[in-house]
Structure 1
Amino acid sequence: MTVKNPLIEGWYADPEIRFYAGQYWIYVTRSFTDYKQQLNIDAFSSPDLVHWEKHAGIVEMADFPWIWRAVWAPTIVAANNRYYLIFASNDIQDNDQVGGLEIAVADSPAGPFRALLKKPLIDRFINDAQPIDAHLFADDDGKIYLYYGGWGHCNVAQMNPDMDGFIPFEDGTVFREIDIPGYVEAPCMIKRRGRYHFMWSEGNWTNGSYRAVTTASDSPFVFAGPRTTLLTAQPIADGPGHHSCIALNDEDQWLIAYHRRIPGDNEAGHRMLCLDKLIFSGETIEPVVMTDGLRI
């Protein structure tokens, strides 16, 4: 079976890939430089990673009357027999502006997603992290962590059982900063064979400097080991980043979903969804080789 890149026609970014209800799902940002065209989240589903069905506008935006500028960077997790979607709103620049990270819930991975709260989940800067680019990670012990942050700062917090707030850590803090030199935005976490692989994006999302980096640890909170540039510009494409990963089966086959640019296309919003292989060498991840198609 051959998966072609880009996966889908059109401009989309920030893919989060999951497997729910017997299908693969990718939740995406509508990629426009005019934020007013970016006022809902789309999803795509597929039984085989080849044939994709579009689910447009999966969020009931009437539940979020304070959102006026943009929504983007969705993340999702299954819990309590429901599906919880977190996304960024309004690109707030300080604590006096309304928006931040929103949370919605649905009974189906296709939505419709309705507001879980009557306010943003996180509406202010904590540890100097802009409340954007969320990533939900479910650990083996059932704990669900929220990683998020822009402007060079990343926080992690543990979601409570109802998914409408947070559980303080043992030291009483609610938000811990992940200290990663070079971090810009777009955190992502996976766990393989007991090791946590933390990933993030660096550079500028509007051009070919964008890239993804990773490091590993025995802890989901502290990362001090060597780092690997996971995605970077190659002859086939520029500016790859803001990705997510999925294990295909028990044979340790992994895929990475990400967006990338056509070399020489300087339009900031022109980002395309792609899938490629994520290959481990021992306990480290090898740099991803971008392709125009891959065999699964």
Structure 2
Amino acid sequence: MKKATLIFTFLIGITAYSAGAQTKKTSGNPIFQGWYADPEATIFGKQYWVYPTYSDKYNKQVHFDAFSSPDLVNWTKHDNVLDSSNVKWAKRAMWAPALVKKDNKYYFFFGANDIQNDQTVGGIGIAVADKPEGPFKDYLGKPLIDKIINGAQPIDQFVFKDKDSQYYIIYGGWGHCNIAKLKNDFTGLVPFSDGTTYRSITPEGYVEGPIMFIRKGKYYFMWSEGGWTGPDYRVAYAVGDNINGPFKKIGTVLQQDAAVATGAGHHSVVQVPGKDEWYIIYHRRPLTETDGNHRVTCVDKMEFDANGLIKPVKITNEGVTAAKIK
């Protein structure tokens, strides 16, 4: 009887847990447990995916987990989709993924080793896999970008596909941002028509974490400002008519709310396919935390006014309601 009662109780618990998962009204913030920062959000098929930095001391940042969701509310963890055992030159500080699907392959761009000069091995690398959950393995056997160009530390890369299907890499720390054209197979860079390979597109206030997207024909360029461990960490943006801008800062979109969380920044953006419905996925620091690495990944709605300007985002503890991809 005791064994039967135990099994019955277990089954009831599982049923209650499943029902609870199915009836979850909002995502809540953070959207999943653990210390994670610099989230790259994207859509593959009918699933949202988030690839964040594992937020810890630099020497422990040697692997990436990923998370998938059908609706932004219920998330599944995919452990260790990439780690340094599959990238022999990466030893520490593996940061800020950027993901692209091309020709049925998934390309995982990342920064590694936090290089401080051109004599150190490290920079921006690429891994590749057949599935969005990996396992990802080193694609080039070396960094794609391993030098400090125009003052930009080679970190925080974003990969952008323009209207003509040309892929660009936009990246940079230390207050400088570069853009470069990627080869069709991502094995290197292609010079611009004027013969230069790297162009500086650094807007006023830029620190790190660039992203770009197109809405209604306009190019929205976003970035993080302030210090990543400080209360002034925030997200600003500009709008241009093409990939080259010019990009003049318009204002701040995301920042901390002392009643909710601190240090909100380093984000990405997703659009629900077929709808003018947008979400910002970002990291922030819980009010109870003082350790700079104690960052969590959150989601909130991002809306536009009648002139196409981004409204200031209200950060919440509730997160968002379900947004399934049809």
TM-score by length of 1: 0.96
Instruction: Quote how far apart the aligned CAs of 1:264 are.
Output: 5.2
In the alignment, which residue of structure 1 is the partner of 2:103?
80
Paired residue type of 2:309: T
CA displacement, residues 86-113 of structure 1 (integer Å, 9 cap, x when unaligned): 1010000000111011111111111111
1:12 correspondence with 2:12: no
CA displacement, residues 137-185 of structure 1 (integer Å, 9 cap, x when unaligned): 1122211111100001000111111011112111111111113111100
In the alignment, which residue of structure 2 is the partner of 1:206?
229
Structure 2 unaligned segments of length 5 or more: list them: 1-24
Instruction: Quote how far apart the aligned CAs of 1:128 are.
Output: 1.0
- Measure the CA separation in 2 of the matches of 1:181 and 1:31: 28
User: In terms of Rg, which structure is larger?
Assistant: 2
| Structure 1 residue corresponding to 2:248, chosen from 214, 225, 234 | 225
In the alignment, which residue of structure 2 is the partner of 1:295?
321
In the alignment, which residue of structure 2 is the partner of 1:159?
182
Matching of residues 1-296 of structure 1 within 5 Å: 1-32=25-56, 34-59=57-82, 61-234=84-257, 235-263=259-287, 265-281=289-305, 282-293=307-318, 294-296=320-322
* More helix per residue: 2
* More strand per residue: 1
- Measure the CA separation in 2 of the matches of 1:180 and 1:109: 33
Is the 8 Å Cα contact of residues 284 and 297 (structure 2) preserved in structure 1?
Answer: yes
Is the 8 Å Cα contact of residues 204 and 248 (structure 2) preserved in structure 1?
Answer: no
Structure 1 unaligned segments of length 5 or more: list them: none
Question: Residues 13 and 60 (structure 1 numbering): CA distance in 2 closer, same or farther, change over 3 Å?
Answer: closer
- Measure the CA separation in 2 of the matches of 1:192 and 1:74: 23
Count of aligned pairs between the two proteins: 295
TM-score by length of 2: 0.87
Instruction: Quote how far apart the aligned CAs of 1:226 are.
Output: 4.5
CA displacement, residues 105-141 of structure 1 (integer Å, 9 cap, x when unaligned): 1111111111111111111101110000011111222
Question: Residues 60 and 36 (structure 1 numbering): CA distance in 2 closer, same or farther, change over 3 Å?
Answer: closer
RMSD over aligned CA atoms reads 1.3
- Measure the CA separation in 1 of the matches of 2:66 and 2:312: 27
Paired residue type of 1:245: V
Paired residue type of 1:124: K
- Measure the CA separation in 2 of the matches of 1:4 and 1:187: 26
Is the 8 Å Cα contact of residues 73 and 321 (structure 2) preserved in structure 1?
Answer: no
